[in-house]
Each structure stands twice: as C-alpha cells, then as structure tokens.
Structure 1
Amino acid sequence: MVIFILLIVVLLPHAVCDAQIVKCGMWNPQFVHHQYYQPGDLIIGGIVFQNMFQISRSTFNQTPQPQLSSMFVQDYQQVLALEFAVKEINENLQLLPNLTLGFSIYDSYVEARWTYHAILQLISPKDRFVPNYKCDIQGNLMAVIEELTSDVSHQVPEVLGRFKIPQMLYGSAAISINMNQAISVYQGEPNGVHQYRGILQLLLHFKWTWIGFIATDDMNLQGFFDVLFQEFSKYGICFAFLESFSSLEIEKSAMNFYDKIMNYNVNVLVFYGDIRSMPWLRWLLNTGRIGKNQKPRGKVWILTAQMELRYSTSHDDWNIQDFHGSLSFATHSNELQGFQGFLRSRIVPSSKENGFLKDFWENAFHCTFSSSGHTGRAACTGEEWLVSLPEYIYPRRITGQSYTMYNAVYAVAHALHAMYVSKSKNRAKMEEQRMKIQNQQPWQLHHFLKKVSFNNSGGDWISFDQNGELIAEFDIINRVIFPNGTIVKVRVGRLDPRAPPLEAISINEDAIVWHTFFNQTRPLSVCNDNCHPGYNKKKKEGEPFCCYDCIPCPEGKVSDKEDMADCFTCPRDQYSNKDQTSCIPKVVVFLSYEEPVGIALAICALSLQLVTALVLMLFVKHHNSPIVKINNRNLTYTLLISLLLYCFCPLLQIGPPEKVICILRQTVFSITFTMIMSAVLAKTITVVLAFTATQPGSTLKNWVEKKLTNSIILPCIMIEVVICIVWLAIAPPVPYADMDSSLGEIILECKESSSIMIFIELSYYWFLTFVSFIVAFLARKLPCAFNEAKLISFCMAVFCCVWLIYMLTLLNTNGKLTIVMDIFSELSSCVALLVFLFFPKCFIILWRPQLNSWEQLRMWKR
C-alpha cells in the first residue's frame, strides 16, 4: 500500500505535466537555428547577438523561417566566455558544491520578434515551447544575461520582470532602462550615459568643438538630446550636422550620406548607435566611396562600447581603413587566467547543442559541412587555425562584452553560493539542502545579487551599486588598422564615471595612432581657426555659435587665452601689454629721493633755504643800516622768514605720501604762501603810504610803522588759517593711489577731496597775488629813495608768470611730472623774490657800502 502511494506521488506530476503540454502544445512554433544548451541543476540563460539574417516578412501562410544565409557574424567570443565561466564554476568545489551550473543560449538576431521568442523559450521546459511551465526540479532558470538593442530595451526587462527572474543587461541600449521600475534588472556594465559624458570630456581634452553627429533612426534620439545635447552645448561644443539613417531606406541615400559626412569641414565624427548599427555604417561608407571612386578620407571616429568592426559574410572585402585611428570606449577588461588556452582548445563540435560555433566556423573560414547546404565552398576539416583569422573576426584578447558576460555568470554563481551557505546550517543534510536550492524560485536570488562582491581571475573587484549598476571603469581604445585588415586595439586611457568631472578621464596621447590623413599630428576640429590671445570671438550671423570671426580687443582690454568670448579689463593695479595678451603690474610712481630729479630738486630747495638764511643773517647784522631801515625791516624779516619756510615745502613733496605729510603739505604751503603775499602787499602799501606821509600836513605818518604791518599781514594770515581749518575739518587731504591717469603707472599722491575748498583756496591765492601786483605796478614811479615798488612789480610779474604757466601745464601733466612742476614753480617764485627784491640790497651792503648812507639816500631823494 505504501509503495502504491509513493508511485502515485512520483508519477502523477509527470502525467499532469505531459497532459498539460499536449493541451497547450508541445510543438515548437518557430525553428531555432542558433542555440547552445548545456544541462545542469541550475540554468543560466543567455541572449546574445551573433548573426544578423535577411528576414522576410511573415505572411502567416506558413511557419515563419529565417533565411539561413546570415549577413553579419558577431563576436562568438561571448558564447565562449559564458561557457568558460560555467566550466570554471563547476570545477570549483568551494563555490557551488554538489550543484552544477548549465546554460541555455539563444541568438536574438537583433530582431524584436526573435528576441521575444528566445525569452519565451528560456522560460519553457527543454525542447518544449510552454512558457512559465515547470515539469521537474532540474534545469531551473535562475537568471538571464541579455545583450540588448534599442528597440527591445524596454520590452525585454518588462517581460522577464513579470516572473521576477534576475536579468543581467549589457549593451548600448541599457541606458534606457528605468532602474526604479525594473527591480529585477542589473546592469552588467556601467551605465551608458557615462560613455557620452566621457565623449564630452574627450572632446574637451582635445579641444574639438566642431563635430558631426551620426545616429540610426532606431535609437532613442530624443532621450539623447534631452539628456546630453544641452550639456555638449554648455561646454562650447556644437554640431556641424546631425545625420541619421534608416536601414529600410539606406540604399537610396548612401552617396548623399557619404558626401555629407566626408566632405564636410569637420574632422571628428561621433556615432550613436547600437550593436547592429556598425554593419550598416560600414555599408554606407563603402557604397558611397565606391560610387564616388574615392579613397578613404581621414576622420576621427568616436564610437561607443558596442561599436565593433564585425565580420560580414557577404561583404568580406569591405574596406575598414575609415576607422583607422578611431577612439572608442569599452568596458574595462583584464585577461582572465586560462581563457586564452580555453579559446585555443575549441574545435568544431560534433554535438547539435552548439549551433553558434558551427555557423561561425563556416563563415569565418569560408568552408562548409556536408549538411550545411552552402555551395561553392570547400569542406570544413575542423583543423583550421583560429589564430589565422583576422582580429575583427576572432579577437586575440578578451573583449569588453565577453568580460561582462564572464563577470555576470560569476555574479549569479556567487549569489547562489550566498543563498546556499545561508540555508546549509547542517552539513549532514547537504543533499537535502541541494534539493532545496534546486527548488528555490528565481526571485529569491535578488536579495543576494544586490550584495554580491568578489574578485575575478583578472584581478578586478566586481560589485553593484544601490541602483544595480556595475561599479567599473571604461577603457579608451585606439584602433590601429593595418593594410592587411589586422586590427590592434591599444588602450590609451580610462574613464572613471565616479571621479570628479575634471579628473574623470585620463589619456596617454603619445600612445594614440591617428589616421594617416593627419600625418600623425593631433587633428583639429573647429569651425574656423582659433582666435589667438589679444582677440575675441564675434559670432557669425546665421552660423552655429562655434563659427565666429576674430576681432582685436578694444584698447585697455586683453584676452590671454584662445577663443575667448570677450576681452576683459585688467585689474586697476595692472595694465595691458602692447599685444593685449596679458596684464602687467603697474609701476608705483612717486617722486623719490633716490632718483636724480628728486635729488636735484631737494638740493635746490636746501640751497635756497641756505641762501635765504644767509640773506636774513646779513640783514640782521646790518639792521641799523639805512638800506635795511628805510623799507621797514620788520616786514623784511617777516618776508625772509616766510621764504625760509616756503623753501621747506618742496621737501614735503618728495617721497611717498603719508597722511601726516599730506596735511603738512597743504597747511605749510598755504600759510607760508599767504605770509609771503601779505608781506609783499604790506611792503607795497608801505611805499605808497611813506610817499604820502612825507607830504606837508599828512596824518598817515603814524601808520607807516607797525600798525600798517599788523593790519595787513595778520588778517590775511587769519583768513588763510580759517580756510585751512575748515578744509581739514570737512575733507582733509589723504594719500591716494591714482591708477587711471597714467597707463602703466600707479601714481601715489595726496588727494584734496573737496573741490569747493580748492576753488576757495586758489581764489584767495590769486586775489592776494593780483592785488600785490597791481599796487606794486601803480607805485613803481613814485619818487622815493630805494623805491621797492619797482622791484616788487618785477618780482610779482615773474611770480604771476611762473604760476600761470604752472596752471596751464598742469592740465596736460600727471604723475611725477605734476609734482616736479609744482616744486619748480615754488622754487622759481622763491628765486624771483630773492633776486629782484633782496639781491640788489645785498649787493649794496656787501660791495657798495658807500651807497648805504643817509647822505646818499637824500641825494637819491633829491
């Protein structure tokens, strides 16, 4: 009885399963030509793109069949990478003990309908097309690794996402996936958006601002423009043209397409496509060139990670020299231990399970097996040398896609290991746990996949971020294509997506081989020649912003870099050089004691002080002599002391201005100048009153002495003192650095802040000077002994001329020259007073003492 019950329990599920299969249909609705299956306890699914077929439209009159003459053969190395990874894992007793991994790989043919068919086939039992039906505990699908293209990038994750099956995506279209919605999706390579930001950094590094942009209509161009087009423009990069092509109308536009991209004045072309775009691009270039009978013209092609120069079975003579010197991004890869030996060991399989290798072998070596149906080809022996194939057919090094496939398989294996360890608490129940692992649902693997991290055999650390994206770098690859078709990929840089923008990209420019068209010099790609320093850009009307004219900078402005949008004004303490390419620090200028002019003026001022002091001593010594007494010696002493102080003013103007010095300059000059003018005025009026007082009956005799002097000098000085006090209270002079008056100089000076007070001060100066000159001029012919009015009139005439010339020249001078003219005027006026007013008297005292007597004075009076 017990045995009967056990038989029912064991056989009943199989009977139900077979019945359901018959009911739903055991037949396979479409013929699958390329598939590769290896059994195991757990299965990893793979959807790759190796072959592109000429597929006819379905009429639904019969079962749709692909035409079995493939147009393009892609990289078979991806299939081998998956097989190699599964082989290593099964041989590693520490990773998945008592469990074996198998795989089931299908070709998508880069067609949406075949991709969907492959997906449904993966979730069906082996050799039966019953999606999402499970008949036994072996061969459970745990994850799917998919190489996607643009038009199926949204649908595939949604289909598998309904069954919560983990999906490892890679390919150019992976950037379209909404990672927030597709919770079962993991990106096996860095997000593709990083590539295009890397392209931007690449363009900025080489200063390429004028580029052509080519895309296929199948790509989501609107998404590209929304995310990145504005970012390119923000960094000064503009597009000479935006060209797209469709595979449906490609034959009609081949020559026009070739003319546009090859004859345009742009040297850098960015191609935006997916894994199937490159064959069509090559077809366009070859067809257009043959139609024009032209040789390949040099361009720098910038390609994304999936853009590989694949082998064409129908056009194996296509010229690929267009892409010599191209730059592309590739998922970072390192050589895997034992992988090259594994590749060399592959021979033509006899098993029907591998439909990929047989087709690859026939197309790569242009041979045929007896059952293949190819005509005009030699029979395949199976002993052909893989190493004899060109690089773009059979890569010598592991490709980025194969590296991604290898890492994806190991990521699933490590997640399974983590799940196995978490359930294997008791080693004695190992077999029971094995059964439990086989019965696990794929959705239970997500918890462990999100935390996967391991070192692969290539020495790289593999892990995913919080968004399910692989944390990895991109390699920058330079393709060197030899005339015999051999392709060498040289790693010339890297792109770290997580580094700051200015540090994200690093390039070894010396390792880059450019297209022979450029004679191994870095290509330029600008709309016009760069504007040199000293010029700025002026946009051309109706042209993109990268096209401009170069105009010289306006006077006073500079540009110190190439292609500056506008010239800038130098800081106030700097000025532009002659070529207007840089700013030069201005020279600080002030009249110094260390320069010849300063020394000469200081010596002159000190010499005049000494002369004035000697004259004063001479007059004091002969104070009782008639020639000193007759012209009011107190006024003479006052005038000489004023001149002595006045000669001190030039010394205050030499040297750097300071706050105390500026105040002393103004007050000492103002007061001493007023004292001189008031003393001269008092002397002149004294002469007039002295002549009048000598007339019979005059009452002015008492005014000729001290009363007259005090009544003239003291009020004049007091008025000036009041003006100075008000000036210092309102706006005292301060040290000032004049950076604008003279080109290339910073003039240190004392700035009088109040223009009103300056006007009042100058008006008062000229009033005293004018009155003194008029009175002296009118009194010059009075018949008085030693009539000083004549001497004063000469003195004031020179005095007025000196200061009038100073005022006129002040309008056209600045800097040190202004200070020099000021000192020169002060010294000149001082010399005029000494020469015309005092030297005649000194001459009489020293060399004509006989004339210095009262008898001689009375004789002159008569």
Structure 2
Amino acid sequence: MFSLLFLFLVLEAPQSLNHKEASLCFLKRDLGPTHYMDGDLIIGGFFPLFIYESTRMLSWKSFNFNPKRLNNLYQLQEKHYNQVLALMFAVEEVNKDPNLLPNITLGFQIYNTYSSDVRTLESSLMLLSGKRLIVPNYHCEKQQKSVAVIGGASLDLSIQMASILELYKFPQITYGPFDSILSDKVHFPSVYQMAPKDSALALGMVRLMVHFNWTWVGLVIIDTARGETFLWDIREEMNRKGVCAAFIEKIPLGLKSLTYSFNVIPRNIHGSSANVIVIYGDLDSRMALQYAQQYRKLYKKVWITSSHWDFTMRHHSVNVETFNRALIFAGQTKEIPSFKSFLRTSKPAKYPQDIFFKKMWNSAFQCSFHHIKYHQDCSQNASLEMLPLRYFDMSMSSLSYNIYNAVYAVAWALHEVLLTRSEMEYWRDEESVILYPWKLHSLLRNIQFNNSVGDQVFMDEKRNPVANYDITNFVILDNGTEVLVKVGEFIPHAPLGEDFSIRENVIMWNQIYIKTPRSVCSEICGSGFRKSARKGESMCCFDCMPCPEGEIANQTDMDQCIVCPEDEYPNRERNRCLPKFETFLSFREPLGMTLTCTAFVLCFLTVMIIGIFVKHQNTPIVKANNRTLSYTLLLSLSQCFLSSLLFIGKPTSAKCLLQQPIFGITFTMAISSILAKTITVVLAFKATRPVSRSRKWLGSRAPISVIFICSLIQVTICGIWLLVSPPFPDVDPHSEPKHIILKCNEGSLIAFYFVLGYMGLLALGSFTVAFLARNLPDTFNEAKFITFSMLVFCSVWISFLPTYQSSKGKTMVAVEVFSILSSSAGLLGCIFIPKCYVILLKPQWNTQEWVNHKSFARSRHHSKAFPHAS
C-alpha cells in the first residue's frame, strides 16, 4: 500500500520546482550511505551491500519464529563489494582510454539495494532526484549527468527499480541471472540484461548426476517464476536421463520463508534417503536455509548448486560445514588483465569518500576507524588479498564480469554518440555536456563489441549466448581456509563428448564419503538381473529379478533382458551368450548306437527267419501260410528295420528325401502283405465248402495284386509329396538350450500325416479282417496271430502321434525310430516266431499225418457244431 502511495506522489508532483518549492514537497527518509565520484556523465550502480539481519527473528533454543522481535538491523555483505570494485575498475579503464571517450570522463554513484520494495523505490528516486531529501520529479544539477543505471542482482530488485526508472525511460542494465520475464519489451522496454542465458544450467546439473550415477536426487527450489522454470527444465531432463526426484521442496519468499526453511525443509532433507541435493535460489533463500541448517546437521548430503547460491558468503554465526565439498556451477569468465592488481592496491585510503569501502574494510579486518584518520589502515600491510573467501574473492565472479561489460556497453553507446554529436546539447558555458538518457536506447539495443579479453558482448538479448559453466568444488580445509577448486566444466554448444568434463581425482568429497558417494533409491541390479518396477513408486525404485530362460543382462541396471541369438545360449550367470554346439542323433552316442544295433539285430533275425522258411519250404506249416506272401512280408520287415537307419546320423539332403518315403513304402508293403495273408485265410476257409466260388481265387495272383495296388497308392502319395513340398535339412535352435539340433524338416506336415494315415487305414483293415477270421477252423490258421500283431502295431503308432508331437530335437527322431523298430518287431514276433517255434522245436507237429489228424478232429467238431452246413 505504501508503494502505491509513493508512486502516486511521484506521478502527481510538479514537473519542475525551484529549491524553495522543493523543500515543501519531499519524502523525508534516511536512505543510508551512498558513494559518489564525479564525472562528465554519471553511471548509477545499485548493489545488495546490506541484507536484513534475520538472526534476531529466531529463538534458537525453541526453534520458534517470533515476528514481534523484528529489529531493523542490517548486516554488511563484504563479498558483494567485489561488484562495486568491478564497476570502479571498469570506469577507471574507460577514463584512461583516449580513444573510447575522448574529453569525457565517466563518474558513478553507488546505492545500496534493500530487500524491501519501498526502500528500493526510494533509492531509485534518489538517483533521479539527486537529493538526500527526495523530491519527486526534481533533479539537481549533478543529477542531470546520469545516463544509465547498472543494477538488479535478482529479478525482484530489477522489477522494483524498473517501476520507477521506466517512468523516465531511464536505461537500466541488469547484471544478475538472465530472466525471460525481463525480456518482455512491452513491460520492460528500458531494461537490458548483460548475463548470458542460463537455460542449459539444468542440463549441466543432470549431466553431472548421470556421470556419477546419481539417480535419486532431492530438489530445493525457490518459489518464484524463475524457480518454476528451472524446476520444469531439470525435471524434464531428469526424466529423459532416468534420474528421479526423491522430493521437491520450495522455499517461499518473505518472512514466511524463515519459519518454513527453519522447521520443514531441513527435516524433509534429513529424512530423505537421497544423498544428493540440488539447490536453486537467490540470496534471500540462501540465507534462510543457512540459518536453519545449523540446527540440523546435514553433513551426509552432497550439494549441487549455482554460483548465485554462494555458500562462502554468510553471517558470522552461520555454520557452513554442512555445505562443505559442495559442487557449484559458476558462469565461465575470463580473467580481466590487471583486475587483481587493481584489487591489491585498493584500500580505503585510496578512496577516502567511499563509506561502503570503509565499512567493508572495518568488518573484514575487524578494525575501527572512529578514532583514527580514514587514510590510515588498521594494519600497515593489509590488503584485500589477505581476506578469506567468506569476506572477499580476488577472482572476478560472473556478476562482476557482467558489471564490467555493462560499463563498457554504456561507454561504447556514448562513443557512438560522440561520433555523430546529433544527440548532444551544451550548456551556455560550453563546458558541460547534457545527454538525455532515453536517447541512448536506440544505440544500446544494437551495440556489440569485443571486451578487453576478446569476448564478444551483445546487448540484443536475442543474440545473447547460452552460458558456459565451470564446475567448482567448495572445500573447507583442515585449517579452516575456504577455497573453490575447479573440477570440471560444461560447454552446452560443444560437440557431444566434449561438452562435459569432470576430474574426479580432484574432487574432495564430504568427510562422510571415502569414495564417490552414491544416491540411489534401489541398489544397482547386477548383470544377469533386470529391474522390476515397484507398483506405485518412482521408476528409480525397483527390485532386481533374474533374467528368464534364454535371456541375459550383460550390463548393470538393465530395464529388459536381452534374448540371445538363435545360435547362442546364456551362461549360468545369464550375463553372457555362449555359442551353441550342433548336435543330432548320432551313431556314436549311446542312444543312436543302441537303436542302430537293435535295427541290425532285428534285420538279422528277419534274414534268419527267411532262411528257416526257405529250408523248410515244403513243410505243411510253411506251405499252409502262403510262402510267397510270407517271403514278401519278411523282406518288407527287413527293409523296415534298415529304413530306421536313415533317421540316424547327420541329416543331409539325400537322407531327408529318402527317410519318410522309404519308411512309408516299406511299411505299406508289410501291412498290405498282412492284409493279403488275412484275405487268403478267409478265402481258404470258404473254399472248403463244396459249392464255394472262392476256390478259383486261391490259386490266382489276387493276394499279390493286393500288395501291388496298396503299395502303388503309397508310392503315388510319396511322389506327390516329393514334388510339391519335399523334406529338407533344417536346424532347431530352440529345443535344447545349449545345442542346435540338426534335423529333417518334413516340408509338408499334411503329406507326412497322410502317409501315416494311409498306413493306419491299411492296418485297421487288416486288423478288422483278421479279427473276424480269428475263429475259423483251419490248420495253422494265422488269423489269431495277425489279429494280435495288428493290435501291437496299432498300439505303437497310436502312442507315437502324441509322443512325437510333444517331443523336441533328437528325442523326436528317436521316438520315430523306436516306433519303426518296435512296430516292425511286433509284426515279426507275433506272426513268425510261433511258426519258427513249431518248425524248430516241435517238428512232429509239422507233418502231414499231424495235419490230417488235426483236420479230421476239427471236421467232426465242426459237424457237431454246424449240423446244417453243406
């Protein structure tokens, strides 16, 4: 409310007053000291040299905030005087340059900026008025020399100053952090920003986190528009890089920040598992948290901040040990020649009228000037170089560098004016120069120059470059000395890989950490494990799960496991893929060797049976079972045994083409022979009837025709199979984890099952006919043996189908070979072993007399059982 009233008075005051009238309209207020150096033209400088002494607000024992205990005490910030000296140094350089502003000298007037809107507005008006007793819209003679203002260490200060200076179109050059709000030329047409854009600060901080694998980081941000912009940028970059925010705390502005910072923020920081904390704020928020932290020791934390949050500058009673070994992003600056020499020779005696310098010197060196002359030092050899970092920094900070460039920007703009003289007016005595400040805007907007170290400076904010950063380590040595050690840098526009560098061996970590600290929500998942997110928690909080079968994790902290190539398999630790070995059902391995020997033994047994039948071919038992069909069946079975050998050994194109067709054709011949034998038995029984027509088929070649026709159908099926989709060599990398199975691909499963189905149809027909003829009265009737053999055969192949489908790799081949051998052996054993038993062990049964006797007995039994049979 007071600010609004103050502005109203400013706007409504008369436009010109003489000295007598001025005394009737002024704001009587003591604004504190200023420092003035005369010149033809004056530059105003606004610097935060004093801040409010906030320790009196706090009850240290009870941790309670008491607003009633406010005292209007201000604490000198000695280190900020580096900014004043940077302005003085730049002005002296400009005045010494005979080519820049010939015959014109620059002067300056220094004001303090307070953390108060009213006091800042009054200081701004004091610049315009030029009187200790501020008179709105009045200016004294010396104030007519003012051409520009350099000030605004923060956005709030810049806006407060602009609210007055903008009324008079007075050029205001800010040296604080770049802020997009001030770039709005509609609301701030007279404000210029010297600082480079810090839009890459968040990117650099996240690069630092990623470098050290810090994925669990706390954020403490000032609650302003600038803080919100930074928070948005850093969270977006953290999400891209897989870094999570453990917590987000916002430091409010004003007196409320003291209570909140004192009670809430330290408690939340201390209670968090994050060991790395990012702090982004300004001077006021820094002081608030520094006062609070001394009651909650947060030594275990690693702090990341910018140079605007200066740990080295603090109140005497504040313990800074908490922030020891912090990592600070500071805007890169080049060392200005002779600046350190200027600082070494700067003493109060050199500037006797500078009350700020005297106060700063008195505070830093703990001496008093009240009883001695100001030109005398409290120490004969005292120098700014002797002061510790908490009081003064001999290097040029980014803020001081911006001030130095701002002075030169004004000087170069005036230089352009001198070249044209179009904007100049003279007093009557032609000794003083008058320049209306608002006429500098057209020049300032377009000014660009190279400063003394070769850096190009732009006043056009659109061409303002993005800041480069030095990464420094704030270290408190054992003897209490505070130093800033450069440990790296971040150059946003450098090529990838060259933009970020860090020297880990130079960094001195907090005493808690012997080596590089860790800050993670969950420990790293080792190789062979993948991350499994916890439901409802941040992506950085996870459990480690072993990779599933067939997959590996060859790096740490992998989100997904990697599937090994088909020709490789995971090792036991599942962190590496090993090459698979080719394998197949070999003759040399035990299973292949067993099946091979079995096939040869059964084939040899079949040959022996053929020999027995040939030797006893004229005996009744051989003749009664149709020698031709028996020989055909035995030869087919021998080929069935041998066909199984095509399935053993390394698959080749020839083997794959011959396997299934030979197996199907030989088995078809065997089953069709059995079917022919069964039909022969039925015809033989019917031929015993006197008037039966079956007699004429017994001596014909009808059984051979059955074999030929049935086999021809199977040959046709196999021929179509080979023409349309023939089998071929293939690999199976999935059945066995460590092996690649070499096998024959059937080409067409439909054709394969069609072959099996046709054999099954023949077998079912043989079984049906044999089962119906099993009780026919005939000597050496084979129907019962054929029935049983077909039952065995069908049982084997019915079991084969599900087993074959569920098998993989070599087992599938072994199942088919076993089915071939077992079904063939079943046919051989059930049909021919009983005959061999009679031939070899019961020869008396294999005689004509025994046959006649058995036939007569069976005939009588048949006549009694069927009295009406003819």
Alignment of 1:282-431 (within 5 A): 282-286=290-294, 288-289=295-296, 297-311=299-313, 315-349=315-349, 351=351, 353-370=353-370, 380=378, 383-413=381-411
1:726-752 residue CA offsets vs partner (Å, 9 max, x unmatched): 878999878877676655666565667
1:214 pairs, out of 209, 217, 220, with 220
Q: 1:71 to 1:340 in 2, by over 3 A?
A: closer
Following TM superposition, by how much is the alpha carbon of 1:860 offset from its aligned partner in structure 2, in angstroms? 7.6
What SS does the corresponding residue of 1:145 show, helix, strand or coil? strand
1:94-139 residue CA offsets vs partner (Å, 9 max, x unmatched): 5555554444433213433343344444456698967888999998
Letter of the 1:47 counterpart: F
What SS does the corresponding residue of 1:75 show, helix, strand or coil? helix
**Stretch moving more, 770-779 or 234-243:** 770-779
Tell whether the 8 Å contact from 1:185 to 1:468 is kept in structure 2 after alignment. Answer: no
Count of residues in correspondence between the two structures:
805
Letter of the 2:763 counterpart: T
Letter of the 1:651 counterpart: L
What SS does the corresponding residue of 1:511 show, helix, strand or coil? coil
Tell whether the 8 Å contact from 1:407 to 1:456 is kept in structure 2 after alignment. Answer: no
2:205 pairs, out of 199, 213, 218, with 199
TM-score by length of 1: 0.75
Aligned residue in 2 for 1:769: 763
Structure 2 CA distance for aligned equivalents of residues 767 and 613 of structure 1: 25
Q: 1:22 to 1:826 in 2, by over 3 A?
A: farther
Aligned residue in 1 for 2:251: 244
Query: Does 2:104 align with 1:111?
Result: no
Tell whether the 8 Å contact from 1:573 to 1:585 is kept in structure 2 after alignment. Answer: no
Following TM superposition, by how much is the alpha carbon of 1:445 offset from its aligned partner in structure 2, in angstroms? 1.7
Tell whether the 8 Å contact from 2:170 to 2:438 is kept in structure 1 after alignment. Answer: no
Structure 2 CA distance for aligned equivalents of residues 617 and 418 of structure 1: 124
**Stretch moving more, 45-54 or 87-96:** 87-96
Tell whether the 8 Å contact from 1:572 to 1:739 is kept in structure 2 after alignment. Answer: no
Structure 2 CA distance for aligned equivalents of residues 116 and 372 of structure 1: 36
Aligned residue in 1 for 2:816: 822
2:156 pairs, out of 151, 154, 179, with 151
Stretches of structure 2 lacking an aligned partner (at least 5 in a row): 1-14, 55-70, 423-429, 853-870
Q: 1:740 to 1:463 in 2, by over 3 A?
A: farther
Letter of the 2:49 counterpart: Q
Aligned residue in 2 for 1:454: 450
Aligned residue in 1 for 2:675: 681
Q: 1:731 to 1:764 in 2, by over 3 A?
A: same
Aligned residue in 2 for 1:8: none
1:699-725 residue CA offsets vs partner (Å, 9 max, x unmatched): 435434564235423443455467668
Structure 1 CA distance for aligned equivalents of residues 491 and 189 of structure 2: 25
Tell whether the 8 Å contact from 1:687 to 1:789 is kept in structure 2 after alignment. Answer: yes
Q: 1:550 to 1:682 in 2, by over 3 A?
A: same
1:169-198 residue CA offsets vs partner (Å, 9 max, x unmatched): 333473543446445544433334432343
What SS does the corresponding residue of 2:251 show, helix, strand or coil? strand
Letter of the 2:334 counterpart: N
Q: 1:319 to 1:715 in 2, by over 3 A?
A: same
1:206-256 residue CA offsets vs partner (Å, 9 max, x unmatched): 333444443456776555555555665674412335253665256766366
What SS does the corresponding residue of 1:443 show, helix, strand or coil? helix
1:40-92 residue CA offsets vs partner (Å, 9 max, x unmatched): 4554443222222459xxxxxxxxxx968535433322222222233334444
Structure 2 CA distance for aligned equivalents of residues 453 and 628 of structure 1: 124
1:311-349 residue CA offsets vs partner (Å, 9 max, x unmatched): 55xx52432111111112111123332222221111214
1:260-296 residue CA offsets vs partner (Å, 9 max, x unmatched): 433544422332321233233222223x25xxxxx66
1:508-546 residue CA offsets vs partner (Å, 9 max, x unmatched): 22322111122x2222333454555636445366x6665
Structure 2 CA distance for aligned equivalents of residues 330 and 117 of structure 1: 32
Q: 1:680 to 1:630 in 2, by over 3 A?
A: closer
Q: 1:783 to 1:229 in 2, by over 3 A?
A: closer
Aligned residue in 2 for 1:61: none
The share of aligned pairs that are identical, in percent, is 33
What SS does the corresponding residue of 1:516 show, helix, strand or coil? coil
Structure 1 CA distance for aligned equivalents of residues 478 and 113 of structure 2: 33
Tell whether the 8 Å contact from 1:210 to 1:266 is kept in structure 2 after alignment. Answer: yes
Following TM superposition, by how much is the alpha carbon of 1:299 offset from its aligned partner in structure 2, in angstroms? 1.7
What SS does the corresponding residue of 2:80 show, helix, strand or coil? coil
Tell whether the 8 Å contact from 2:326 to 2:473 is kept in structure 1 after alignment. Answer: yes
Query: Does 2:48 align with 1:49?
Result: yes
Aligned residue in 2 for 1:490: 485
What SS does the corresponding residue of 2:214 show, helix, strand or coil? coil
Letter of the 1:444 counterpart: S
Alignment of 1:113-192 (within 5 A): 113-123=118-128, 141=146, 143-157=148-162, 160=165, 167-172=172-177, 174=179, 176-179=181-184, 181=186, 182=188, 184-192=190-198
What SS does the corresponding residue of 2:330 show, helix, strand or coil? strand
Structure 2 CA distance for aligned equivalents of residues 594 and 462 of structure 1: 85
Aligned residue in 2 for 1:7: none
Q: 1:694 to 1:141 in 2, by over 3 A?
A: farther
What SS does the corresponding residue of 1:478 show, helix, strand or coil? strand
Letter of the 1:345 counterpart: T
Structure 2 CA distance for aligned equivalents of residues 413 and 448 of structure 1: 14
2:467 pairs, out of 436, 449, 472, with 472
Tell whether the 8 Å contact from 1:593 to 1:654 is kept in structure 2 after alignment. Answer: yes
Following TM superposition, by how much is the alpha carbon of 1:391 offset from its aligned partner in structure 2, in angstroms? 1.5
Aligned residue in 1 for 2:284: 276
Structure 2 CA distance for aligned equivalents of residues 34 and 579 of structure 1: 78
Structure 1 CA distance for aligned equivalents of residues 449 and 695 of structure 2: 120
Structure 2 CA distance for aligned equivalents of residues 559 and 125 of structure 1: 74
Structure 1 CA distance for aligned equivalents of residues 596 and 793 of structure 2: 21
Q: 1:728 to 1:300 in 2, by over 3 A?
A: same
Tell whether the 8 Å contact from 2:410 to 2:444 is kept in structure 1 after alignment. Answer: no
Query: Does 2:815 align with 1:813?
Result: no
Letter of the 1:237 counterpart: C
Structure 2 CA distance for aligned equivalents of residues 207 and 199 of structure 1: 12
RMSD of aligned alpha carbons: 5.5
Following TM superposition, by how much is the alpha carbon of 1:456 offset from its aligned partner in structure 2, in angstroms? 4.4
Tell whether the 8 Å contact from 1:189 to 1:331 is kept in structure 2 after alignment. Answer: no
Following TM superposition, by how much is the alpha carbon of 1:365 offset from its aligned partner in structure 2, in angstroms? 0.9
**Stretch moving more, 267-276 or 693-702:** 693-702
Structure 2 CA distance for aligned equivalents of residues 153 and 394 of structure 1: 24
Stretches of structure 1 lacking an aligned partner (at least 5 in a row): 1-16, 56-65, 290-294, 425-431
Letter of the 2:47 counterpart: V
Structure 1 CA distance for aligned equivalents of residues 687 and 30 of structure 2: 145
What SS does the corresponding residue of 1:334 show, helix, strand or coil? coil
Tell whether the 8 Å contact from 1:42 to 1:438 is kept in structure 2 after alignment. Answer: no
Q: 1:717 to 1:119 in 2, by over 3 A?
A: farther
Structure 2 CA distance for aligned equivalents of residues 321 and 50 of structure 1: 24
Letter of the 1:332 counterpart: Q
Structure 2 CA distance for aligned equivalents of residues 139 and 190 of structure 1: 31
2:584 pairs, out of 584, 591, 599, with 591
Structure 1 CA distance for aligned equivalents of residues 487 and 278 of structure 2: 18
